[in-house]
Every structure is written in structure tokens, then in C-alpha cells.
Amino acid sequence: MADTLDSQAAAFAQLLKLTGDPDAAFRSAVALADGLFPHQIEGVAFLLGRRRAILADDMGLGKTRQAVVSLRHLTPGGPRLIVCPASVKRNWAREIAVVSADAAVLVIEGTAPAAPAAEWVVINYDILGRHLDALLRVRWQALVFDEAHYLKNHTSARCKLARQLTAAAAAAQPTLAVQLLTGTPLTSRPRDLFVLLQLAAHPLGRSFLAFAKRYCAAEKGEYGWKTGGASNIEELTVQLHGVMLRRSKDQVLALPPKLRTWLPVEVPKGTGVRDMRKVVDLLIGEEKITSSSAIDERVLRGRLLHAVTVARQTLAAAKVKSTIDFVTGAVDVKTPHFLSYSGNVVVSAGHGSVVPYATAGVGGLSLFERAEVGVNDTTTFLTTNVGGGVKWYAGRWGLRGDYRFIAVQSKDDAPAIFGQETRYGHRIYGGVILNVAR
């Protein structure tokens, strides 16, 4: 109770700043407690206290609900744009409906032109570029970037779109609210925070190089600046206090150990009716059996169990399509399109039917544009490889097999799906040889 009162008091203070009406602010603060945990009320108060903020609570602490509740007070009437991964678009629509059942919600799907005219508009990162022109024409009151760690690569096309959209919205609406939600701890890798600080209009987001030198232990290397480290973390944590709020599950003592959500699924009318009628008939028949009946009770129970199983399978089969749609949206598993190639020098050790050899070479790995997985441009990476193997000859024909250790040199403008660290791999190759010299 004390935690709830404290968080309500914080919410009241922020609401009073917005409205200037003590009675209205008090009623709103009390209403916030309905359906929210104390840490969520505190989070709403934090978001109400600033036009731009980063909410970095652990996954499962209800960041979506906190954002929806706070934006209803910060930007009454909207419109508000939610940018998120495709897998959580439906969850945003559900959360908005829970908080405000009569709110108009538009979930943009696919690349077909759509008029983003609603109180709440939800779109996923993968198709943001395809709808950018239409989105830029709207005078947004609020922007939300959910799973904001998707924007951690400050030179990626996705980040450029987010910055362009935010800059245009801020120019059209000086009181624009921007909220960035992420459940991924970022202070262990400070450079991933830079774009979030830019979008939050924090002074640390003005220069990446200055930020990297101070907080990423930046070093000048052969291929440019290396910014994957961390330095002055305690100072960075202090700098973030005014713009970022993060709570872990261990800190939130009022949270139940587990929450379960039932998702109703519509099935065709009459599904399973015949099977359930058979179950009922068997139950009625069992009650009518006398002790002197020749019917084996075990046989009857077996028939009943079979009938119940068939009925459950019928209902389960009717739910398959909805279940597949939900799981596909939640998992959203996709892979990029790429081509790997290299040129190698081979040094053989002797002649004969069995010839060992060593090999080394350079090449490239090209990721081709595929917006749905965050690859917005074709990008090529330098690759090197070294290894060895054996060639076996039987006359002019032969076989070969070798092992190669491969390094793929990444770069700062690599797509988020690839990452900015150098990748390493192991490959085993085999082939048929035709030796024209023999």
C-alpha cells in the first residue's frame, strides 16, 4: 500500500503540472492505480514529467501499458505513432483497447498505401520506409519507438528513418512527446545508447565521436575507430538519470511470479457439437447401467475417453489457423538473403595419388536488400579465410576436401541483424577434380 501511495503521489505531482487543477490531478492520479502495479504508476509519473524519455524496464514489467497510459495524459486526442517490431503490433492494439476501449487504432500492414488517420497508428520497423512520405504529412503529437535497441546502429538506414521522422514531427509540433522503450540493458555497451540519446534530444547525443571517446573507450584502429568498449560507466549512469528509467524484476517486489493471458479464438459454428453430443450420450448411458448389466464398465470408460479425446482434437484443429497466425507474428522468424564468394591460393605439398595442401584467400559476403529483416540496402563485407585439405587422384579425376577458418570484417553501418562485430566461422568444402595436366 505504501508503494502505491508513493507512486500515486509522484503521478499527482506530474499531473498537476499538466493541468494546474488540483482536484482533476488528484482524480487522475487515483484512477491510474486501477489495473496498474506500483512500479507502473511510478513509470507513468516518470514519463509524464518529461516530453522525451527512455523507459528501459526488464521485459515483462509492462512498458507498453505505461506508455499508453502516460500518452493519454500527455497528448490528449493524439494522433500518436507507435513504431515497433512486427511481432508486437497486435499486442499494442490490445493494450490500447484495454486502456481506452473507444480509441481509434490503425495497424498498418504490408506496403500498400495507407492513410495514417487515427488516434493511434501502429507500424513496424520493416515497412517504415515504404510509408514514410505519408507519415511525414501527419502532425504527430507523440512518437513511440518500441524495442528501441533495434536502432542501436547509428549509421543504419533504419536509424536514419527514425531520426528523419522525429525531426520532421518536432518541427511541426514543438511539444512533441518521444518515448523509447527497450528491455535490453544498454550501459554495458554504451555505443548502442547513442541513437536513443539522439532521439531523446539529450546533450550526449550531439556527437558520436565525442560520446565514443568518453564512454566507449574509443581507439583509432587500422580500419577506423573501434567503439565496442565501455568507459566511465558510473558517470554515464548519472548522466542518464534525468532521461532514462530502468527497473529489474528483482527490484519490483509487488509483481506476481507469473501472469497468464487467455486469448479467445473464434471457431466455425457447430465445431465439435457432434463429438460432444456423443460424449454426453455415453455419460447418460453410463448412469443407466445397472450392476447386473453385461456391459463391461472398462469398455464403456474406454469409449468415453476416446470420445472426449476426439472432441478435444476437433476443437484443437479448428484453432490451428489462429494459433499459427499468432505464433508467426510473435516469433517473426526471417532470414536475410546473402552471397559469399572468395578467391584462394592453393599450395600443394608434393605429387601422387594423395596430395595435402594449404589454402588462403580473400573475398566478400554480400547481404542483399530485404526490408522485412532490417536490411534496407545491399551491403558487402570483406572476408578472409585460411585452411587446408587433401586431394585424392585416380587418373585425371579426383576428389578434394578441406577445412577453412573464415573471418567476416563488419563495419559501423552494418545492418542490425548482422551486428558490428567481426564474425568468425568454420566451413568444410568438398568437390570433384578434373586434372587436364595428367
Assigned domain for 241 exists:
yes
On whether both 123 and 203 belong to a single domain, the answer is yes
> Can you tell me whether residue 276 is helix, strand or coil?
helix
Q: Is residue 419 part of a domain?
A: yes
Query: Pick from 22, 72, 25, 66: which is nearest to 47 by CA?
Result: 66
Determine the Cα–Cα distance for residues 435 and 398; give it in Å rounded to an integer: 8
pLDDT of residue 2: 42
Query: Cis ω on the peptide bond leading into residue 79 (within 30° of 0)?
Result: yes
Q: How far apart, in whole angstroms, are the C-alpha atoms of residue 56 and residue 412?
A: 24
Is residue 96 located within the same domain as residue 152? yes
- State the residue range of the domain holding 308: 273-318
Please give the helix or strand (H or E) that residue 367 lies within, else none: strand 354-368
Tell me, yes or no, whether 172 and 298 share the same domain.
Answer: no
| Torsion angles phi and psi, residue 26, rounded to 5 | -65, -45
Q: Which helix (H) or strand (E) holds 29?
A: helix 22-32
Residue 16: CB partners within 8 Å, gap ≥ 6?
A: 22, 25
Clarify whether residues 363 and 311 are in a common domain.
no
- Look at the block and give the residue holding cell 540519446: 197
C-beta separation of 411 from 374 below 8 A: no
Burial 206-233 (b: 16+ CB within 10 A, else e): eebeebbebbbbbeeeeeeebbbeeeee
CA distance 244 to 183: 12
Nearest to 66 by CA among 89, 92, 105: 92
Taking CB atoms within 8 Å and a gap of at least 24, the contacts of 260-264 are: 263/326
Task: Verify that 143 and 206 share a domain, yes or no.
Answer: yes
pLDDT of the residue at 288: 54
pTM for the whole thing?
Answer: 0.59
Number of domains in the chain: 3
130 & 196 share domain: yes
Quote the pLDDT of residue 1: 42
Residues of the chain under the 50 pLDDT cut: 1-2, 4-5, 8, 289, 332-333
Q: For residues 312 and 341, state if they share a domain.
A: no
CA-only gyration radius of the chain, Å: 30
Q: Is residue 305 part of a domain?
A: yes
Evaluate whether residue 324 is within a structural domain: no
3-class SS of residue 353: coil
Query: Scanning the structure block, which residue is given the C-alpha cell 500500500?
Result: 1
Q: What DSSP element (H or E) covers 214? A: helix 208-215
Nearest to 256 by CA among 38, 34, 6: 38
Same domain as 242, residue 299: no
Are residue 140 and residue 235 in the same domain, yes or no? Answer: yes
The CA distances from residue 340 to 54, 165, 337, 426, in Å, are 39, 35, 10, 13
Report yes or no on 44 lying in a domain: no
Neighbours of 301 (CB within 10 A): 12
In a domain, 21, yes or no: no
Nearest-CA neighbor of 364 among 346, 378, 374?
Answer: 378
Give me the DSSP letters along 41-95. Answer: HHHHHHHHT-SEEEE-PPTTS-HHHHHHHHHHHHSTT--EEEEE-GGGHHHHHHH
Co-location of 301 and 384 in the same domain: no
Can you list the positions of beta strands (E) in 305-435?
A: 337-348, 354-368, 379-394, 397-409, 423-434
C-alpha to C-alpha distance for 375 and 378, rounded to whole angstroms: 7
3-state secondary structure of 337: strand
pLDDT per residue as tens digits for the range 172-218: 999 999 999 988 766 667 888 888 898 998 988 888 888 888 888 88
Per-residue pLDDT at 373: 58
CATH number of the domain encompassing residue 73: 3.40.50.10810
- Inside any domain, residue 40: no
Q: Is residue 133 located within the same domain as residue 201? A: yes
Give the count of alpha carbons within 13 A of 55, CB side only. Answer: 32
Where a domain ends, among 318, 350, 377? 318
Alpha carbon distance 61, 249 (integer Å): 7
154 shares a domain with 293: no
| 94 domain residue, yes or no | yes
